[in-house]
Amino acid sequence: MPSVLVVEDDQFVRSALIRHLTEASHTVRSVGTALEALREVAHFRFDVVILDLGLPDLDGAEALKMLRSITDVPVIIATARDDEAEIVRLLNDGADDYLTKPFSVEHLSARMAAVLRRTRGAGGQAPPPRVIQVGGLSIDPLRRQAELDGTALDLTRREFDLLAFLAGRPGVVVPRRELLAEVWQQSYGDDQTIDVHLSWLRRKLGETAARPRYLHTLRGVGVKLEPPESAPAAAPEPPA
């Protein structure tokens, strides 16, 4: 059974989450502070952590950074904060997903299921290719390493998954709903999540939405990755 750590100081919310997750056949442990969460993760193995931001001893954003320093366990942020800049920062600091309170238990279940499918992977799939080469991009799915013009890229797990998925279909416009389904394992979701990760990738690839090199967004259609256009070939010299 999937094991879940609930980090929530509100006793009412905490009890409701424990009840729902237990009824859904999850093994649940719960704590009310960031330090307790760090101790739990250090001593037990979890499939997913649900992390509240308003903790009494340490802000959840700082707790997330500390969690990421010791584990790769998927973390779903549960927060009443809806500031876009903070959401972006949390995703950049390693959160796998976020939910804005109040949320339904059905919504939480769908997000958790998506995270678990993504981290466990589906059996029977063909092994990924050794190395994907698109222009100066070199992506090794087996080692989960990516380089641009010989320089290693420091990518989060989700950034790498998105880049590798697009690079495996160079020049093909991938609809956003397909990205949600294949990279996020969600049948629905907020386009903001895709936009945020694309923005991070562009920055690490040395480009912007206004001046794209590899990543091209077709408004209302989707996203494609292709090598930068080469410089125009020199005109042939006239025959002597």
pTM: 0.53
Residue 187 pLDDT: 62
d(CA 149, CA 20): 49
The stretch 160-181 carries a mean pLDDT of: 88
DSSP 8-state class, residue 100 = E
What confidence score (pLDDT) does residue 211 get? Answer: 92
* pLDDT band (50, 70, 90) for residue 238: very low
- DSSP 8-state secondary structure symbol assigned to residue 106: H
93 backbone φψ class: left, alpha, beta (φ>0; ψ -120 to 50): alpha
For residues 136 and 153, is the Cβ–Cβ distance under 8 A?
no
More confident residue, 129 or 231: 129
At 82-126, the pLDDT tens digits run 787 888 888 888 888 888 888 887 888 888 888 887 766 544 344
